[in-house]
Amino acid sequence: MSENVLKMQNITMQFGGVVAINNLSLDVNKGEIVSLIGPNGAGKTTAFNVVTGVYAPTNGAVYFNGTEIVENYPYGKMKKLYAGSDNGKFTKRIEPTPDKITKLGIARTFQNIRLWKSQSVFNNVLIAKHLRRSSNVFSATFRLNAKEEKIQREETAHLLNILGLYDFRDELCTSLPYGIQRRLEIARALATEPTLLLLDEPAAGMNPQETNDLTSFINKIRSDFRLTVFMIEHHMDLVMDISDRIYVLNFGALIASGTPAEVQSNPAVISAYLGEDKNA
């Protein structure tokens, strides 16, 4: 079980003088559900953006299934400004674009829902299958890929079916209830055939009932698709319920990690969330 799927090593992400993430190292093992929590502005989404290639980190490396997918070191203007530690440990620059990382098998959802608004539910999932095509633009235009197209449509229908979205397939995605839109975003990420799923606040804006549904939904897709899940979440009920391990970030730095029970009783975490008790 301890096979490493994702490994972030000494990641520092600096925007000018602001250090959004400072020397973050974490790993996610195969089949686990790992949560990344922390107060607002702790750098959680930035961490996701580094893993998915949206930002190139200022320093550090990311490994996926043992192969290095992102690496960078401070250079240029950042060399002077650099405020993190471990300067000089990394020497290469690997900065892939997000689509390449998705192709490797890391799919993500977004904090604020980013569905393709003019498209139907079916098309939203179907478009995500585009990256697994074998056709080129000529064969696609002149319908020489009809077989592949048919398979993709069937797979999409199948996926929608098992995720309980098939009844909405012809609806415009913006006309759906919020919880369904969240679910559709996860379905769309699954359509890219990932092995690691990154969920950015999947329960944001959900009522307790919807959150409950989401918990079982995430458990279900993890076993159905043999996924590893790495998620950011604010709903503590959900996090404590579902996670195998938890990492806690505060002001860009890792302050605690461990099982839900360990994290809950960690004084550093309590002070980060509730503030320091000066009388103590």
Nearest approach in angstroms of CB 267 to another protein is 37
Q: Between residue 11 and residue 40, which ones bind another protein under the rule CB under 8 A?
A: none
Q: For residue 9, what are its two tokens?
A: 């090593």
Q: Which of 14, 145, 228, 257 binds another protein (CB under 8 A)?
A: 145
Of 201, 146, 150, nearest to 178 by C-alpha is 201
Under rule CB under 8 A, residue 170 binds another protein? yes
Q: Does 52 bind another protein (CB under 8 A)?
A: yes
In 3D space, the residue among 93, 98, 103, 99 whose CA is nearest the CA of residue 71 turns out to be: 93
Q: Which position among 81, 157, 162, 270 is part of the footprint of another protein (CB under 8 A)?
A: 157
Q: Minimal distance in Å, beta carbon 212 to another protein?
A: 27
Instruction: Tell me: does residue 140 bind another protein (CB under 8 A).
Output: yes
Q: Which two tokens stand for residue 58?
A: 């200022």
Q: Which residues contact 192 (CB under 8 A, 6 or more apart)?
A: 102, 107, 128, 129, 131, 132
Please say whether the beta carbons of 2 and 187 come within 8 A: no
- Which residue from 149, 213, 241, 244 is in contact with another protein, where contact means CB under 8 A? 149
- Judged by beta carbon, residue 79 or residue 130, the one nearer another protein is 130
Of 107 and 269, nearer to another protein (C-beta) is: 107
Q: What residue has token string 């079982």?
A: 216
User: How far apart are the C-alpha atoms of 22 and 58, rounded to whole Å?
Assistant: 10
By CB under 8 A, residue 44 contacts another protein: no
CB of 96 to another protein, least distance (A): 11
169 binds another protein (CB under 8 A): yes
**Contact by Cβ (8 Å): 26, 10:** no
Nearest in space to 60 (alpha carbons), one of 12, 4, 7: 12
E strand spans, the chain: 4-15, 18-29, 33-37, 59-64, 67-72, 106-108, 196-200, 228-232, 245-250, 253-258
- CB 46 → another protein: shortest distance, Å? 15
Note the helical H segments in 37-120.
44-51, 77-81, 98-104
The distance of closest approach from Cβ of residue 250 to another protein in the complex, given in angstroms and rounded to an integer, is 27
- The Cα-based distances of 207 to 114, 168, 198 in angstroms read 20, 21, 22
Binding footprint of another protein, residue count (CB under 8 A) = 48
Cα gap 195→59, rounded to integer Å: 26
x-or-dash string of contact with another protein, 71-110, rule CB under 8 A: --------------------------xxxx-xx---xx-x
User: Minimum distance between the CB of residue 133 and another protein, rounded to whole angstroms?
Assistant: 6
Q: Is 131 in the site for another protein (CB under 8 A)?
A: yes
**Site for another protein (CB under 8 A): which residue of 89, 117, 220, 226?**
117
Binding site for another protein (CB under 8 A): 52, 54, 97-100, 102-103, 107-108, 110, 114-120, 122-123, 126-131, 133, 135, 137, 140-143, 145-146, 149-150, 152-154, 156-157, 169-170, 188-189, 191-192
